[in-house]
Amino acid sequence: MSAFISLLKRDLLLAVRSRAEALQPIFFLLVVVSLFPLGLGPGPALLAKVAVGVIWIAALLASTLSLDKLFHADFEDGSLEQFLTSGHSLSSLALAKIIAHWLSTGLPIVLLSPLLAIWLNLPHEALPVLVKSLLLGTPIFSLIGAIGAALTVGLRQGGQLLALLIFPLLIPVLILATGAVSAATHNLESTAYLLWMAAYAVLMLTLAPFACAASLRISLS
């Protein structure tokens, strides 16, 4: 547990110190969401129809923007080899890095989502469901993305392969999230969608750290 907390603190401190890299996903999110009203026009009805999809696709792309660097720095400076020989659980150390990634990337997206939703004229009754869906979905992005990052950590063009590996696994998240917010927009029940997302998040939280540990051992062997 001490190694877990130490690694979590270290990654968060590195994210704070390298502010340009930490803020890059947020700037990317804002730019992508800002371009859609310019391209589609300022019509409130049209923006309200596409708001959910725009926010979620932008959140997906912003969350995965820095995933290829999740283990890359530790791989280059030899820290990953030290993790393997330290005697600490590699899966718990991988989980610490995943949590740090979500806190520095996913959580700001969740906090910005109400502003983006108002900007795109999403109905106010759908705002709580949008935030809940992002709270469930963005950790899944980090968990699944970490598996892909661990598999491609030693490759030169790992970022391109990473996208091909993880995007098919993230499609169910997009479908469930947009379904939940669309149901709330039409005053329908959205609990079932959120429960399925919660189940998927728990499944990934259970499996992803061990999958990352196994992938890192394969990449370093």
Tens-digit pLDDT profile for residues 133-181:
999 999 999 999 999 888 888 776 666 778 888 888 999 999 999 999 9
pLDDT over 70 (residue 132): yes
pLDDT over 90 (residue 218): no
When mean pLDDT is compared over 4-18, 88-102, 191-205, the highest value belongs to 191-205
Residue 212 contacts residue 146 (beta carbons within 8 Å): yes
pLDDT for position 204: 94
Instruction: Output the CA torsion 95→98→100→102 (10° steps).
Output: -140
Confidence of residue 198 (pLDDT cuts 50, 70, 90): very high
The predicted model gives 183-196 an average pLDDT of 91
Inter-CA distances, 182 with 131, 140, 179, Å: 13, 20, 5
Confidence of residue 130 (pLDDT cuts 50, 70, 90): very high
pLDDT over 80 (residue 60): yes
pLDDT over 80 (residue 220): no
pLDDT over 90 (residue 99): yes
pLDDT for position 14: 83
pLDDT for position 193: 95
pLDDT over 80 (residue 64): yes
pLDDT for position 173: 94
pLDDT for position 139: 94
pLDDT over 90 (residue 83): no
pLDDT for position 10: 86
pLDDT over 80 (residue 20): no
Q: How many residues in the chain?
A: 221
pLDDT for position 157: 65
